[in-house]
Amino acid sequence: MSVEQVERELARLRMDEDGTPGLRASVLNLVTVTDEESAGEVTRIVSKLAGRFPCRAIVMISDTEEQDANLDIRVSAFCDVQGGTGSQVCAEQVEIHAEGPPAHHLMSLAGPLLLPDLPVFLWYPGPFTPNLPEFSSMADLADRIVVNSAAASDSGVCLQELSELAQDTSMPAVGDLQWVGLSPWRSLVTALFDPPDRREELEQIHRVEILHDSRGESRALLLAGWLASTLGWRPESARDNDGAREFVFDGPSGEITVALDPGSEDASLRRVRLYGRELSFQVSRHRELTEAMSTVMRGEELLGERTVQLGFFDQDIILGEELRFRGRDESYAAALRTVAEMLEL
Amino acid sequence: MPETLQQNVLRDEQRLPAVPDPGVVVIFGASGDLTARKLVPALYDLAQGRRLPMEFAVVGISRTPMSHDEFRQKLRKGLDEQRAGSVSEDVWESFSKGLFYLPGDSKKPETYEELKAFLQQLDEERGTGGNRVYYLSSSPSLFSTIVERLGEAGMSQEEEGSGYARLVIEKPFGRDLESAKELNGDILRYFREKQIYRIDHYLGKETVQNILALRFSNGIFEPIWNQHYVDHVQITVAEDIGVGTRGAFYEEAGALRDIVQNHVMQVLCLTAMEPPVAFDADSLREEKVKVLKAVRPIPEDEVGEYAVRGQYDGGWVFGEEVKGYREEGNVAPDSETETYVALKLLVDNWRWAGVPFYVRAGKRMPKKSTEIAIQFHKTPHTPFSGPDTRGLEPNVLVIRVQPEEGVSMKIGAKVPGSGFEVRSVNMDLLYGSAFMEEAPDAYQRLLLDLMLGDPTLFIRADEAEGAWEILQPVMESWSKDGHSARYAAGTWGPDEAAALLGHDGREWRRP
């Protein structure tokens, strides 16, 4: 199938029943590099995204180990019917299976199929490392790289590599779905210190406890990294005790201990506690429920509490949040730098 | 104070949304529909979405005797109706703990003493920090009294370290120029303009804000957005519904006061204004006021040439037979109240000299539609022969605000085949579809803005008065001559409205 044939076929798929061309209100290109096993899930996510982010998705499934060259291209369109007129708005998907030599040249396949004048997001839904063979050439096409640091077999290594990548100004900006998923937590922790009389407590935090499970390690590290980089804590030492990690920081008001406990049984990120001079603060989530509770305590006395929605959990919604963001995320880069320093201790 | 103590440094980043300071929203007229149907659902959405502080409370006031719990139950019922199936029990339980009710007569000073003490108690118990929003959702006839009582009780003052005191007023802002000035004068005795937030929920709609985005973030439109290229502009705010249960209100108001003075004038301003230097309250509102000032006054003895009013008779709307306005509940059988208004307005400034703005608003139109149509001049000359260009019309750029937000552009294109036949084709783009995320409810946006202290999307006193000033001669003329032209429900208004454009050799477009 040539580029022209792909374009023609996509136009045909967008046609309404009466043969008129369907609307194409595209906002971005989404290039995905994945494997055969995950392709179905990626297609499902792209189809769910179609309504909110009409885009051209190019799903690349490559197998570089195969000796014989093989190239298979399939196109599909996911259309949402709009309001009263019944007009369709479509997202297009081009699925490219490349085996053997073509799999080493994915850029040559993706490049000509990109919609012009729209940003290109390069999304790695699976394990990511900048050492992937096709990465640097694919990155040349991209305006933003989106990864999932929790998909790596070792989140710590992945975060360290991402830290280097985020500091490399010759590379596109980097986004991480784990950082996006952490946003509601960061928002809730931040809100605990909005009342002016609590600001002093923020300066006096001396202990942080983060309860997570193995899936939530990346988020727990990023949460610790974000607090430390924002509050000016420098990593001093680290201790590993049966999977539970403890980091000691030197902050403006003295020593701070951050304990990461992987003992959560019912949620990837279960609870974060912060201890100030007089007050303690907690944000917690029960099981995988959509709500989280924030509390403020003075000793045993409850000073305030509230329950809100944590927000989004589905991959397509998290990815959608990330696709809204443009440019470099300095807070994420700073959190990554601190995480990398913590892991080097 | 060290920098970290002056602000919450954790919030200093682009991906965390702004959250207002702790505070209390006091709603006067809290037993009314607006509180249960709009305000509290919007506040619940904000709370659920982590956009409200933990230290937040709502205090409802009205004369109806009710306990805190009864008030909560009433609001819960309203919330279930408005947000069917999406209310979280846990979030509601947490949110509802901050809902309180004080029965009281808003005319009596003792109500305010009681309120003041209760708010102080909330500050101590819930940490609401002395910040107050007073939301006037009561009958407009009580606005001045409530403001006066608040002022007398010392509750309108913003002293250093005491928190803010903001006043929210729902439209209508008066019922004519004189009463608007009087109301503004009454309010300004106790509140500074900076503290006053006049709500026209139309401005909270994403789609209305998108008019600004389209005009001022796209370089291709602004150079042709003037009298050199534009022949005329048509603004339509059409509803397919009748007055329903609002007969009594409508009898007093009419379409001119209900829709034209606020919604239509706002859309006119956003369409005709100069680019503001920044998207902030003063820059935006300055430019809107300049438009209102530039609208040529309609001489009272020439109102008939510039304004048409109509009233719907029975008819058919989308296959449903509907009754006429006079048959509606709480409407006088001989009522002449207008349910339709069409105006021809001229904006006398450099940009728009000689370009008429035809605006119309009506009920029981064939469909709900709000749109702005910019009709461009005909091409000065076409090289194609007469018969080949039959069906070729001047370019029209239509900004659809609702129901299907988008833009369409009518352009000439060659019909395939031999020869050079040219026809008009509509290029249609639903740009709303590019961001199909659920747009926040208008009240949600406006309530958040006012708690954050951003008055950009609220109406300033001179805007409200400017809009009344334009309409004053029309109201005065119509008050002397009580006749509204008739139109059948399900049509685009009376014949007289067609004649308004017909005199200028133009016609209304069909939205």
Question: Which residues are bridge partners to A228 per DSSP?
Answer: none
Are residues A200 and A129 both part of a single domain?
no
Q: How many domains does chain A have?
A: 2
Q: What's phi and psi for A252, nearest 5 deg?
A: -55, -30
Please give the Cα distance from B163 to B23 (Å, whole number): 9
The answer to whether residue A121 sits within a structural domain is: yes
The answer to whether residue A286 sits within a structural domain is: yes
Q: What is the pLDDT along chain B (511 residues), one digit of tens a residue?
A: 445 456 889 988 778 889 999 999 999 999 988 999 999 999 999 999 999 999 999 999 999 999 999 999 999 999 999 988 889 999 999 999 999 999 999 999 999 999 999 999 999 999 999 999 999 999 889 999 999 999 999 999 997 778 999 999 988 899 999 999 999 999 999 999 999 999 998 888 887 888 898 899 999 999 999 999 999 999 999 999 999 888 988 998 899 999 999 999 999 999 999 999 999 999 999 999 999 999 999 999 999 999 999 999 999 998 889 999 999 999 999 999 999 999 999 999 999 999 999 999 999 999 989 999 999 998 888 777 676 666 678 899 999 887 777 788 887 777 777 677 777 777 777 665 555 455 678 899 999 999 999 999 999 999 999 999 999 999 999 999 889 999 999 999 999 999 999 999 999 998 8
What is the pLDDT, as a whole number, of residue B439? 64
Closest CA to A21 of A29, A13, A30: A13
A86 touches chain B (CB under 8 A): no
pLDDT per residue as tens digits for the range A26-53 = 788 999 998 888 888 888 888 888 767 7
Question: Which residues are bridge partners to A240 per DSSP?
Answer: A245
Chain A, residues 161-200, CB within 8 A of chain B, namely 183-184, 186-197, 199-200
Q: Are B40 and B74 in contact (CB under 8 A)?
A: no
SS3 of B283-318: HHHHHHHHHHHHECCCCHHHHHHHEEEEEEEEEEEC
- Cβ–Cβ of B8/A203 closer than 8 Å? no
The answer to whether residue A161 sits within a structural domain is: no
Residues of chain A neighbouring B11 (CB-CB closer than 8 A): 190, 194
Tell me which of A142, A167, A198 is where a domain ends.
Answer: A142
Asked if the bond preceding B172 is cis, omega within 30° of 0, the reply is yes
Which of B15, B44, B371 is the best residue to mutate to test the A interface, defined by the most A CB atoms within 10 Å of its own CB? B15
Active site residues of B: 263
B128 touches chain A (CB under 8 A): no
The answer to whether residue A86 sits within a structural domain is: yes
Please give the Cα distance from B295 to B290 (Å, whole number): 9
- Cβ–Cβ of A195/B48 closer than 8 Å? no
The answer to whether residue A149 sits within a structural domain is: no
What is the pLDDT, as a whole number, of residue B432? 55
The answer to whether residue A153 sits within a structural domain is: no
Chain A, residues 266-285, CB within 8 A of chain B, namely none
Q: Are B128 and B24 in contact (CB under 8 A)?
A: yes
Plot region of A19 (φ>0 → left; ψ -120 to 50 → alpha; else → beta): left
Please give the Cα distance from B425 to B17 (Å, whole number): 43
Which percentage of chain A shows pLDDT scores above 90?
A: 59
- Cβ–Cβ of B21/A27 closer than 8 Å? no
Please give the Cα distance from B101 to B32 (Å, whole number): 13
Strands B23-28 and B56-62: parallel
Residues of chain A neighbouring B47 (CB-CB closer than 8 A): 306, 308
Q: Are A75 and A90 in contact (CB under 8 A)?
A: no
- Cβ–Cβ of B428/A87 closer than 8 Å? yes
Among the partner residues A203, A230, A291, nearest to B88 by beta-carbon distance? A291
Q: Assign A327 to helix, strand or coil.
A: coil
Q: Please give the residue range of the domain that contains residue A284.
A: 181-315+330-343
By C-alpha distance, the chain B residue nearest A285 is: B90
* Least confident window among A21-25, A122-126, A196-200, B237-241: A21-25
Are residues A57 and A106 both part of a single domain?
yes
ipTM of the complex as predicted? 0.83
Are residues A35 and A105 both part of a single domain?
yes
Which of B1, B3, B6, B10 is the best residue to mutate to test the A interface, defined by the most A CB atoms within 10 Å of its own CB? B10
What is the pLDDT, as a whole number, of residue A22? 63
By C-alpha distance, the chain A residue nearest B2 is: A200
pLDDT per residue as tens digits for the range A281-316 = 999 997 767 899 999 999 999 999 999 998 767 888
Among the partner residues A89, A184, A291, nearest to B430 by beta-carbon distance? A89
**Residues near B40 by Cβ (< 8 Å), separated by ≥ 6?**
B58, B75, B78, B79, B99
Closest CA to B289 of B420, B465, B145: B465
Please give the Cα distance from B328 to B314 (Å, whole number): 10
Are residues A202 and A338 both part of a single domain?
yes
b/e map B395-430, b = 16+ CB within 10 Å: bbbbbbbbebbbbbebebeeeeeeeebbeeeeebeb
- Cβ–Cβ of A311/B49 closer than 8 Å? yes
- Cβ–Cβ of B4/A230 closer than 8 Å? no
Are residues A336 and A254 both part of a single domain?
yes
Q: Assign B263 to helix, strand or coil.
A: helix
Q: Assign A99 to helix, strand or coil.
A: strand
Residues of chain B neighbouring A51 (CB-CB closer than 8 A): 436
Are residues A10 and A119 both part of a single domain?
yes
A309 touches chain B (CB under 8 A): yes
Q: Residue A288 maps to which CATH number?
A: 3.30.360
Query: H helices then E strands: how many in chain B?
Result: 16, 16
A314 touches chain B (CB under 8 A): no
Please give the Cα distance from B376 to B424 (Å, whole number): 13
B218 touches chain A (CB under 8 A): no
Among the partner residues B49, B93, B428, nearest to A309 by beta-carbon distance? B49
- Cβ–Cβ of B5/A231 closer than 8 Å? no
Please give the Cα distance from A258 to A276 (Å, whole number): 13
B8 touches chain A (CB under 8 A): yes
Give the gap in angstroms from C-alpha A91 to the nearest C-alpha of chain B. Answer: 10
Give the gap in angstroms from C-alpha A198 to the nearest C-alpha of chain B. Answer: 9
**Helix orientation angle between B40-48 and B442-452, rounded to the nearest 10 degrees:** 70
Are residues A200 and A287 both part of a single domain?
yes
Closest CA to B489 of B310, B332, B331: B310
What is the pLDDT, as a whole number, of residue A9? 84
Are residues A198 and A92 both part of a single domain?
no
Tokens of A291: 């709500």
Are residues A190 and A128 both part of a single domain?
no
What is the pLDDT, as a whole number, of residue B434? 56
Which of B50, B126, B430 is the best residue to mutate to test the A interface, defined by the most A CB atoms within 10 Å of its own CB? B50
Please give the Cα distance from A34 to A38 (Å, whole number): 6
Among the partner residues A25, A83, A190, nearest to B403 by beta-carbon distance? A83
Among the partner residues A85, A190, A196, nearest to B404 by beta-carbon distance? A85
DSSP one-letter code for B498: H
Among the partner residues B5, B9, B12, nearest to A200 by beta-carbon distance? B5
Among the partner residues A52, A303, A330, nearest to B436 by beta-carbon distance? A52
Give the gap in angstroms from C-alpha A25 to the nearest C-alpha of chain B. Answer: 6
By C-alpha distance, the chain A residue nearest B428 is: A23
Among the partner residues A195, A199, A307, nearest to B93 by beta-carbon distance? A307
Chain A, residues 237-256, CB within 8 A of chain B, namely 252
What is the pLDDT, as a whole number, of residue B400? 86
Tell me which of A142, A168, A199 is where a domain ends.
Answer: A142
Give the gap in angstroms from C-alpha A288 to the nearest C-alpha of chain B. Answer: 14
What is the pLDDT, as a whole number, of residue B489? 95
Are residues A226 and A274 both part of a single domain?
yes
- Cβ–Cβ of A27/B55 closer than 8 Å? no
Are residues A247 and A186 both part of a single domain?
yes
Terminal-residue alpha carbon distance, chain A? 53
Are residues A195 and A339 both part of a single domain?
yes
Closest CA to A304 of A197, A200, A210, A192: A192
Q: Which helix (H) or strand (E) element contains residue B240?
A: none
Q: Please state the pTM of the whole predicted model.
A: 0.87
Residues of chain A neighbouring B435 (CB-CB closer than 8 A): 27, 52
Q: Is A92 exposed, middle or buried (0-12, 13-18, 19+ CB in 10 A)?
A: buried
Q: What is the mean pLDDT of residues A227-246?
A: 94
A26 touches chain B (CB under 8 A): yes
Lateral strand order in the sheet of A144-147: A70-82, A87-99, A55-63, A28-34, A120-124, A144-147, A173-176
Chain B, residues 269-328, CB within 8 A of chain A, namely none
B437 touches chain A (CB under 8 A): yes
- Cβ–Cβ of A306/B95 closer than 8 Å? yes
The answer to whether residue A169 sits within a structural domain is: no
Terminal-residue alpha carbon distance, chain B? 59
Please give the Cα distance from B378 to B234 (Å, whole number): 16
The answer to whether residue A325 sits within a structural domain is: no
- Cβ–Cβ of B90/A307 closer than 8 Å? yes
